[in-house]
Amino acid sequence: MKNLLSLLTFCLLMLSCSTKSTEVCPEEDSSQFVTLTEVVPDAILEIRYFGTYNFVGTRIDGYEEPTALLTRQAADSLKAVSDDVKARGYRLKIYDAYRPQKGVDHFVRWAENIADTLMKPYFYPDLDKSVLFDQEYICAKSGHTRGSTVDLTLFDMATEKELDMGGTFDWFGPESHPDFCGNPETGEYTGGLGDSSFSGLGTNVTSPNDQTTNHPISQRAITPEQFQNRMVLRQAMLRHGFKPFDTEWWHFTLKDEPFPDTYFTFPVKQLSK
């Protein structure tokens, strides 16, 4: 009898250990996420942090495949946005969606290395790299890591080009603010120049992939058409449950995000079905 009890105790202990070993930490659990293009098949992906044309200049840690992941709720809402803008002749183009904490940590290490200014001419020519933390261009935590934030623009199906937003994704400066040259609450274009404290007006520069890009720093203002293009994207996102970010016209977060306090760690790659 004693041996039987010992055997039962051992079996229960092994079962407990086995159960614990298969448990997934909340931050590592991707079960409530989807591959975005399975929900929004019309979306165009240009995952900047999988490649080298980004403000760091190298592939970002945690981006193992050039795909986009979102929580199921955010993806469903983005599908509604896609259907909305498609009726107006546009498709969604995605630059970034879920971002693992490892990727954010990579940004932080890069920002702390003041000497690394490889991509300064293309993304932050008017900023000293030392101010990136103070001005919150780089932070230790990101809404992207909670899985319901997306960076995107519109692709014009008639011209087969990105819609002209008057500025590039991930530009560090006031030209990226939704209220630059207008009132995003009313959709009114006000014109005028950008922040006069910025100096050193630039000219066109050539990106590492030999594409000439006319950065907003060389304009000091965006046109009424460019502002209205930003509003087309913004209003479609707001209509379908997203909220904007006050310093980036391309950045939106689902209002009722399902994981407001969880910063996920699993990598960006195609999810197993």
Domains of the chain: 27-254 (3.30.1380.10)
> For residue 193, what pLDDT band results from cuts at 50, 70 and 90?
low
Hunting for tokens 């992939």 — which residue is that? 209
Distance CA 158, CA 86 (A): 11
Q: Is the pLDDT of residue 220 over 90?
A: no
By C-alpha distance, which of 129, 66, 139 is closest to 107?
Answer: 139
Q: Quick one: pLDDT at residue 24?
A: 82
Q: Is the pLDDT of residue 168 over 90?
A: yes
What are 264's two structure tokens?
């996920």
User: What phi and psi values does residue 198 have, to the nearest 5 degrees?
Assistant: -80, 135
Hunting for tokens 């690394």 — which residue is that? 116
Q: pLDDT tens, 43-75?
A: 999 999 999 999 999 999 999 999 999 999 999
Q: Quick one: pLDDT at residue 272?
A: 84
Distance CA 37, CA 104 (A): 23
Amino acid symbol at 14:
M
